[in-house]
């Protein structure tokens, strides 16, 4: 993108521009003089003068610099950074996490205050599994098109070198950095900082520091101790032991713990809003939910309030339970009997699927294979490991466990992993409780046998 390329202001940008120059105590003529551009250019951005071709990027930069706002406050980030500025590897995840996003204004506002109060720094959102940390990161990224990285343990996308490679590519593309292919993060940030105009900032969002895998010693993902001015990191992680923080820095830092008492009402409101959204006509679940509510002769208000309590402010809980109620899975339950909290939901579902009663069946084996393998795996490989027909395995994956799995295309093959880290944790607790149980030994033996068969096949075919 060249400084002379043309852009237009967004509808919110027009308002933001008007508010900002007034707040700065300037008239249009004074702003034009300070930014060294014409009054007509400002009027075009304000929408009070026709703007057929747009205005040049450098002019927006000048105005933003004078008013100490972001160019993306005036121009939609999608137009400012170009259409495809979300990293393709995270595009579908971001779309999925933001599809029915509700609330969280208090988090974004607190982050904004942190930015305003500090020249640079690290801001970390802490919260339990399923409280919505990744979704908050995804929402921020989709609005500001921030460079980003999602650590995903179940996909083995969680090592410092992979993070650096991805962020380096994103920064080089966005800021047209030259000869930076081998630069480390600190050098890249310094080079970007040099290109930022006054008032402009760089926010890099990184999700799930708790899922990072690296040798202890240095900062997680080798995040730098010092940052240049106007550079911020928005991080998320599960609650952690202070000894294992893995992030020693010499710049301002702040944590927002979603579990903090002071956010109880905010969390409750956001959760309530989400239930109300799902009760609306286009959610796909309205009919089933309303039927469930009516059959029990309870008011919708009561349903929303009680379910919000049951959810323990956990979005992941609702993501499972609302569709399950709608499709009749809880027809034999009343409001009071619904599981309390995410872990009880998993355990409850586990029992209802008959996993305790008929331990050792194909359904259980397949889950443990997904747990043990830990990377996306095709149906055919699972069938090979359990030595069962691929059709039967596919049925289990697509019918029994569908809401717990993520399907993705890897090198032209449909592969499966466990969708959410909280379910992975649940399965791990089963393994810890029961590591001597026959099924775990069997699954591991089946994996070893399968690999040995594959090696032998390769040797036979002379590869």
Residue 313 CA, distance from chain mean position: 18
Q: Helices 341-352 & 421-433, crossing angle to 10 degrees?
A: 70
Pick 131 or 379: Cβ nearer Mg ion: 131
Does 149 contact ligand ATP by CB under 6 A?
A: no
Does 131 contact ligand ATP by CB under 6 A?
A: yes
Please give the angle made by the CA atoms of 187, 226 and 72, to the nearest 5 degrees: 70
When CB distances are held under 5 to 8 angstroms depending on the partner's kind, the choice from Mg ion, ligand ATP, none that residue 130 binds is: ligand ATP
Tokens (6 digits) for 432: 């810890």
Does 422 contact ligand ATP by CB under 6 A?
A: yes
Pick 135 or 230: Cβ nearer ligand ATP: 135
> Which segment (28-36, 129-137, 311-319, 391-399) binds Mg ion by CB under 5 A?
129-137
Does 100 contact ligand ATP by CB under 6 A?
A: yes
Q: Helices 362-373 & 421-433, crossing angle to 10 degrees?
A: 110
Does 132 contact ligand ATP by CB under 6 A?
A: yes
User: How far apart are CB 274 and ligand ATP at their closest, in Å?
Assistant: 5
Pick 134 or 381: Cβ nearer ligand ATP: 134
User: How far apart are CB 182 and ligand ATP at their closest, in Å?
Assistant: 32
> Footprint of ligand ATP on residues 375-404 (CB under 6 A)?
none
Q: What sign does the CA torsion over 18, 115, 172, 236 have?
A: negative
3-state helix, strand, coil in the chain (%, to 5): 55, 10, 35
Does 444 contact ligand ATP by CB under 6 A?
A: no
Does 313 contact ligand ATP by CB under 6 A?
A: no
Length of the chain: 463
Distance CA 117, CA 122 (A): 12
Does 278 contact ligand ATP by CB under 6 A?
A: no
User: How far apart are CB 239 and Mg ion at their closest, in Å?
Assistant: 13
User: How far apart are CB 424 and ligand ATP at their closest, in Å?
Assistant: 9
Distance CA 94, CA 148 (A): 10
Instruction: Report whether 406 contacts 416 (CB < 8 A).
Output: yes
> Which segment (11-19, 57-65, 312-320, 346-354) binds ligand ATP by CB under 6 A?
312-320
Does 127 contact ligand ATP by CB under 6 A?
A: yes
Does 129 contact ligand ATP by CB under 6 A?
A: yes
Distance CA 387, CA 374 (A): 19
Q: Which residue is nearest to Mg ion (CB)?
A: 134
Closest residue by Cα to residue 171 from 195, 144, 151: 195
Pick 70 or 142: Cβ nearer ligand ATP: 142
> Footprint of Mg ion on residues 11-70 (CB under 5 A)?
none
Pick 58 or 108: Cβ nearer ligand ATP: 108
Distance CA 214, CA 234 (A): 20
Q: Which residue is nearest to ligand ATP (CB)?
A: 132
Q: Of residues 41, 124, 134, 170, which one binds Mg ion by CB under 5 A?
A: 134
Does 421 contact ligand ATP by CB under 6 A?
A: yes
Q: Of residues 140, 175, 303, 315, which one binds ligand ATP by CB under 6 A?
A: 315
Distance CA 205, CA 198 (A): 21
When CB distances are held under 5 to 8 angstroms depending on the partner's kind, the choice from ligand ATP, Mg ion, none that residue 319 binds is: ligand ATP
Pick 206 or 382: Cβ nearer Mg ion: 206
List all residues 6 or more positions away from 303 whose beta carbon is below 8 Å from its beta carbon.
275, 289, 293, 335
Closest residue by Cα to residue 73 from 87, 63, 85: 63
The continuous run of DSSP H or E covering 257 comes out as strand 253-257
* 3-class secondary-structure state, position 122: strand
Distance CA 249, CA 177 (A): 26
Closest residue by Cα to residue 202 from 150, 148, 163: 148
Q: How many residues bind ligand ATP (CB under 6 A)?
A: 24
Does 97 contact ligand ATP by CB under 6 A?
A: yes
Tokens (6 digits) for 81: 């950074």
* 3-class secondary-structure state, position 230: coil
Does 201 contact ligand ATP by CB under 6 A?
A: no
Mark 35-74 with x for binding to ligand ATP (rule: CB under 6 A) and - for no binding: ----------------------------------------
Distance CA 63, CA 394 (A): 58
Tokens (6 digits) for 349: 């579902």
List all residues 6 or more positions away from 431 whose beta carbon is below 8 Å from its beta carbon.
368, 371, 440
When CB distances are held under 5 to 8 angstroms depending on the partner's kind, the choice from Mg ion, ligand ATP, none that residue 315 binds is: ligand ATP
Q: Of residues 319, 324, 368, 397, which one binds ligand ATP by CB under 6 A?
A: 319
List residues binding ligand ATP (CB under 6 A).
97, 100-104, 127, 129-135, 208, 238, 270, 274, 315-316, 319, 420-422
List residues binding Mg ion (CB under 5 A).
134
């Amino acid at each position: 993108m060249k400084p002379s390329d043309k852009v237009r202001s967004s509808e919110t940008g027009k308002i933001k521009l008007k508010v900002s120059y007034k707040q700065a105590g300037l008239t249009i003529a004074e702003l034009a003089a300070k930014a060294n551009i014409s009054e007509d250019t400002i009027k075009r951005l304000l929408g009070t003068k026709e703007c057929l071709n747009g205005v040049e990027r450098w002019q927006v930069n000048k105005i933003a610099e004078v008013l100490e706002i972001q160019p993306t406050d005036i121009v939609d980030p999608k137009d400012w950074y170009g259409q495809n500025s979300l990293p393709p590897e995270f595009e579908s995840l971001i779309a999925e996490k933001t599809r029915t996003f509700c609330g969280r204004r208090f988090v974004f506002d607190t982050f904004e205050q942190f930015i305003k109060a500090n020249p640079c720094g690290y801001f970390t959102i802490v919260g339990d599994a399923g409280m919505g940390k990744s979704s908050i990161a995804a929402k921020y990224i989709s609005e500001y098109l921030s460079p980003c990285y999602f650590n995903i343990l179940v996909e083995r996308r969680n090592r410092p070198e992979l993070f650096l490679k991805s962020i380096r590519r994103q920064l080089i593309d966005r800021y047209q950095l030259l000869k930076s292919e081998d630069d480390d993060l600190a050098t890249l940030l310094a080079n970007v900082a040099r290109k930022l105009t006054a008032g402009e900032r760089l926010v890099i969002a990184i999700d799930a520091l708790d899922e990072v895998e690296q040798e202890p010693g240095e900062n997680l993902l080798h995040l730098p101790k010092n940052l240049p001015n106007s550079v911020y990191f928005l991080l998320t992680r599960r609650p952690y032991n202070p000894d294992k923080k893995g992030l020693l820095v010499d710049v301002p830092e702040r944590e927002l713990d979603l579990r903090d008492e002071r956010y109880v009402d905010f969390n409750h409101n956001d959760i309530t809003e989400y239930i109300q959204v799902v009760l609306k006509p286009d959610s796909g679940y309205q009919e089933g939910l309303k039927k469930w509510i009516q059959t029990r002769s309870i008011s919708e208000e009561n349903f929303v309030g009680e379910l919000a309590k049951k959810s323990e402010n956990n979005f992941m809980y609702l993501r499972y339970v609302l569709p399950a109620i709608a499709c009749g899975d809880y027809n034999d339950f009343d409001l009071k009997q619904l599981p309390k909290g995410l872990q009880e939901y998993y355990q409850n579902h586990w029992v209802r699927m008959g996993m305790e009663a008929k331990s050792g069946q194909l359904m259980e084996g397949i889950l443990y294979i997904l747990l043990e393998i830990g990377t996306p795996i095709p149906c055919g490989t699972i069938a090979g490991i359990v030595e069962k027909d691929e059709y039967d395995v596919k049925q289990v994956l697509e019918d029994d466990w569908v809401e717990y799995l993520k399907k993705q295309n890897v090198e032209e093959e449909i592969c499966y992993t466990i969708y959410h880290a909280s379910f992975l944790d649940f399965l791990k607790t089963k393994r810890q409780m029961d590591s001597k149980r026959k099924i775990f030994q069997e699954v591991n033996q089946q994996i070893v046998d399968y690999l040995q068969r594959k090696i032998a096949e390769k040797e036979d075919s002379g590869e």
